[in-house]
Every structure is written in C-alpha cells, then in structure tokens.
Amino acid sequence: MFMNQIEKQPLRGEQDLRLAVVVDPDLPVGWLANTVGAISVGIGTENVGLGGVTLTDGDGASYKSSADRPVPILQANGDQMRVVLEKSAARLDEMTLVVFPAFARSIHTFADYEALVPTQALKSEKIDGIGLCGPSKLVRSLVGSLKLLR
C-alpha cells in the first residue's frame, strides 16, 4: 500500500503519488461522467488518504476536501487503453489500477458484476476507463503520452 491504511489519515499532498483517469473520449457525456466518478471512487477507497481533510470557510461552514492533488482526466482510444491496461496490470505491486469495462454498464448489481468478471478477459474487452494511482514516475511512464480530455 502507498499509505498507512490503518491510520487512514489524509496525506495533504504528501508522498510521491500521481493520479490519472483515462477514458474513451467517444463516450456520451453522461457515461463519461459516470465512468470518471466510478473510477475515482475505486481509487479513493483503495488510497483513503488522498482527500477528506476537513476545511472550514470564513463563515464557519465545514466540509470535506476533494483530492489533495491533481486528478488529470486523459483520453485514449481502444488500442491506447489496452496498452495502458496491459502495462499497468504488470505493475500491480507498485500501484492501484481501477478498470471500468464497457460490459459493466449492462449489469445492475455488484454481485452480478463480481460473478461475471472471472469469466471475462479484460484485455479483449472494450474498456471505457482506467484509473491509476502510484509513484509519479511510474504513472507518468504509463500515461504521459496521452492528451487531456477536452
């Protein structure tokens, strides 16, 4: 793990971690937003210290912060997505990888999704998005050539 999972304390930008979310730019806007949101939840639950600092504004209203570092949303076509997936899957001991396969959209319960995944080979499935969290140098090497989603 990249941070102390027992204490679950916010990192406040500490540690050399980089985040990236890679999506298919051809998704409809609603699906694109859903993909980014779902991937972000997956990254956040695995790396609990990336946000959640309590902040209080000038009027005394308190709220939780979002991520404590940038979360670039990058775009990739199917071939680029497969390359990122394959290279990332080989480095799971060094980073968090969250995958959103297109077939997930047709499944309405997590139990059904959990049962289906072992019967699929993600490298041959359409992938709508991938999330990465790991050492800056590693994440940059995996997604550094991809463009920001516009």
Q: What is the pLDDT of residues 134-150, one digit of tens each?
A: 999 999 999 999 999 99
Question: In the prediction, which pLDDT does 8 show?
Answer: 64
**CATH 3.40.1490.10 given to domain 17-148:** yes
Asked if 42 contacts 31 with a C-beta cutoff of 8 angstroms, the reply is no
Cα separation of 75 and 69, whole Å? 19
pTM score, two decimals? Answer: 0.88
- 8 Å CB contact between 54 and 108: no
50-91 residue pLDDT tens: 888 899 999 999 999 898 899 999 999 999 999 999 999 999
Bridge partners of 131, per DSSP, are: 21, 98
Ordered by start, the domain boundaries in the chain are 17-148
